[in-house]
Structure 1
């Protein structure tokens, strides 16, 4: 079998193969965690991101590789989860840019698209680190360019690029000492190799991939469960949503044109995508205006007089706006209550093993009424995802780069409504630097870290990204952990205990710490978080 030109049908098949192969191998990618903790989620995040991407690409009724790649890029952007997912979405974005205007692609075009994918991903990361998925992508892109003139068969070309990428992946532990100490290669880079391999397998016929576009049958939706409500006060009856594939840049002018057609208007986007939401009495007129800019997909029109949920949404959107709103990523009922008590408007469920997507956070932003919206990721693996919402939202979004739940709490406590946006941003960012976070969980494999041998199922204590304590008993390891965290400047220890611990056990630890540190304030809170027995805040 020989392939010299890649057409739209082949690209859809390759994308479907990439998604399936990564899905089949995501647990192996998850296991490539630097720390032997039960929260490896790189494979899951990348798989969910790719699935969101191909859903858009495969459902597009188009044959041009350019339009399919662009739609796939949009899907990956909205579905991106975790740092690896965000970087992968930027790879899709660059790849789509490389295919711009092409109906089909030869090896030279594909090679240039690979290179542009890498360049786009590097630009999206403020401080690119070698020894990661970025390195594997860059070496694949550079090698693709170097062999593009001599190769004629796309299958041979792809196989050689993948083999080169595997060699680059094998070198990642030499570039990142933390990988070498853990005895693993970079998880994101491994995920990327699975994406490329899955695409190759599908094109080569190694895996029989059947493409099944999603079929939506709106007419069969059951509306009988909706209660009758008074609809006399509904001025605009149709909730209309869609996405425009367009390079039109003057979004503000388009927003003004639509503003006379209804209310609850949201028009956001860029880079070939405009997302529209509007309540109107004339959805056809709105769609006609949109069609003048480009092609439409994901069209959804609901009659709000039959949609109780849309009435409630309308009521929420009609509330007076306020200067500030807060969105926080949270995990655990007790932690949720803490954030609610600190005036967080919208909580997004997530954390390790369940990172929210760009779209999840964007919806949370849209559900607030603040003109300025602070996002508290509370996890280092969610910060990039939160940052992506800035270019998609029409609100003024400020991401406070909190890496832990305690940092997020500290940032909220530092907020002062009487201060300006700039002052609060600086104060909140400064507040997170004063917090030390400790976490206690268990090891999922035998390993050696900092010259300490750790066995599978051992309890481990992590402080500021380093394993500093290990043992067999949860509370004993917790005490060792805090001995490494408490210093002469410490005044308060806050204990958030998880869903796998009893209140009695947590109270025993609180009592022991009170005796050990009788000059410090000790606060015990039921956090209800999974995976981590304790989360400590030391300040």
Structure 2
């Protein structure tokens, strides 16, 4: 689709850049994956960069959607709004070494471009400063910077931008040209690249992102036939087995988001640096993305716990699947017949689903997973047949898009439209991998459909509901997605919701407690069911930080 060139760097330009960068990385993902040999030849740099930018783009779109939904009128989001959203989205969605560094590059740009709240747009001088800050902050985020990597490419782009006069288009083009030249020289700077006969994969991804920046300001898609031809040759060489992974090195990649203050993060850097290598810690203002390669994954996570509150923890064994999210670790060569991939709202349910053998994707409150994240989870499941449980009505279209992409990769995927994690639990309970695929899917779909779902949550603002007007702080009981009860006490509202659900009958009540649930609520609800409804069993799970105070399922 043709793009309208942006004269200045404003909120619309940020939106356009994110979209173009996502398209560019989508086209180049497999090519970049194929040339990924440093720091680990795990073939996922292109995918990690794509998922990082996808998260950034989604955050920017959310800012525009929020402005439109609020009926604010006017010119739309400010430049500061857009670049902060871009940086935050990249931070929380950053994957792998390359994605984490890219997130810091975008954060560095945002620090400059959002520095003046009243600034409607940035000109060429502002873009020069932003690119220079980006390169500097990314280098500082890496414990031991290595030349011949994306850091070298970023530095070359910044140096060229710093000496270029003109508008944003001229500055961006100078940065891109310098980045391409630096990328071509990366094999001369890093022996592992020279031995493999490839350029740096992270640097190649950054060139794609900078080309999208040029396209934002010129309306053109810059092409470098020599670079594209070289990249194709590199990819072919990798596919033919020319790349031999380096021996040795840590066994695990550990990534997590961390809520912690600056002093605690400084101590964390020292501890993780002693544990392993490829350490990158990016972020600020209390939220950080931590990436490290270690042999002792548990020690890396424990270090995060001591520093603050880690979450979205991902532990990947190089050459194996994601050991945090799969029920059983499986090497790439052992392709299973069938697997279940499920989106879950809290760490407690992630553990429950994983124990049942499912691959899970953790959905933080207000941060739903993107389709690319679901596709990656399907790939991690490493099975010929996959049952996908979105467990959220809002994720149905996202899950459908992920299923279509996975099918294009010759994976048989069945999407069961579960609208709550309790429906997913019911489906997983009847899952039998030994049955024919269609029979298994029908059985799981039937079990999910026979489970009514509810949640108890706290209203964030005044609004109209099916049960009347609620005020901020009111306790809401939602049944099948609609507000049915408004009250002041969690246990009272939950009891009223249960009574309404069990009035239509039921055999099993499932309660999933969030971190904010009162200590006594489970016991009191169990007692209510036992005394008022004969032959109805109750099971209780702890969901952790799941958004809702309480999830309820009735089968």
How high is the TM-score relative to the length of structure 1? 0.51
Name the structure 2 match of 1:17.
Answer: 11
User: Deviations 1:479-512 (Å, cap 9, x if unpaired)?
Assistant: 1112221134311111111111244332122222
Match of 2:351 among 333, 337, 361: 337
Q: Is the 8 A contact 2:78 2:120 kept in 1?
A: no
Name the structure 2 match of 1:383.
Answer: 396
Structure 2 stretches lacking a partner, 5+ long: 27-47, 83-112, 114-118, 147-195, 206-220, 222-228, 238-242, 254-315, 321-329
Q: Is the 8 A contact 1:358 1:388 kept in 2?
A: yes
Cα separation, partners in 2 of 1:397 and 1:447, compared to 1, 3 Å: same
1:305 is the counterpart of 2:247: yes
Cα offset, 1:285, TM superposition: 8.3
Matches of 2:200 and 2:50, distance apart in 1: 23
Cα offset, 1:470, TM superposition: 1.0
Name the structure 1 match of 2:340.
Answer: 326
Match of 1:493 among 509, 519, 525: 509
User: Deviations 1:234-291 (Å, cap 9, x if unpaired)?
Assistant: xx999996899xxxxxxxxxxxxxxxxxxxxxxxxxxx9xxxxxxxxxxx98741659
User: Deviations 1:384-430 (Å, cap 9, x if unpaired)?
Assistant: 22222234442333322211101111221232222222222233223
SS in 1 for 2:393: coil
Q: Is the 8 A contact 2:197 2:234 kept in 1?
A: no
Cα separation, partners in 2 of 1:13 and 1:360, compared to 1, 3 Å: farther
| Number of matched pairs | 340
Name the structure 2 match of 1:527.
Answer: 543
SS in 1 for 2:512: strand
Cα offset, 1:79, TM superposition: 5.1
Matches of 1:302 and 1:494, distance apart in 2: 51
Q: Is the 8 A contact 2:364 2:546 kept in 1?
A: no
1:409-424 pair list within 5 angstroms: 409-424=425-440
Name the structure 2 match of 1:181.
Answer: none
1:159-178 pair list within 5 angstroms: none
Name the structure 1 match of 2:481.
Answer: 465
Cα separation, partners in 2 of 1:193 and 1:383, compared to 1, 3 Å: farther
Cα separation, partners in 2 of 1:237 and 1:483, compared to 1, 3 Å: farther
SS in 1 for 2:435: coil
Q: Is the 8 A contact 2:21 2:53 kept in 1?
A: no
Match of 1:438 among 454, 459, 462: 454
SS in 2 for 1:325: strand
Matches of 1:190 and 1:413, distance apart in 2: 49
Cα offset, 1:462, TM superposition: 0.3
Matches of 1:383 and 1:517, distance apart in 2: 34
Q: Is the 8 A contact 1:414 1:427 kept in 2?
A: yes
Cα offset, 1:357, TM superposition: 2.0
Name the structure 2 match of 1:372.
Answer: 385
Deviates more, 1:331-340 or 1:435-444: 331-340
Matches of 1:17 and 1:538, distance apart in 2: 46
Q: Is the 8 A contact 1:19 1:54 kept in 2?
A: no
Q: Is the 8 A contact 2:22 2:53 kept in 1?
A: no
User: Deviations 1:123-144 (Å, cap 9, x if unpaired)?
Assistant: xxxxxxxxx98xx9xxxxxxxx
Cα offset, 1:521, TM superposition: 1.2
Cα separation, partners in 2 of 1:85 and 1:333, compared to 1, 3 Å: closer
SS in 1 for 2:484: strand
Q: Which has the higher contact order (CA 8 A, sep 6+)?
A: 1
Cα offset, 1:477, TM superposition: 0.7
SS in 1 for 2:394: coil
1:207 is the counterpart of 2:121: yes
Calculate the aligned-residue CA RMSD, in Å: 5.1
SS in 1 for 2:526: helix
Cα offset, 1:198, TM superposition: 9.1
Structure 1 stretches lacking a partner, 5+ long: 1-5, 23-49, 61-73, 90-131, 137-165, 170-184, 225-235, 245-271, 273-283, 293-300
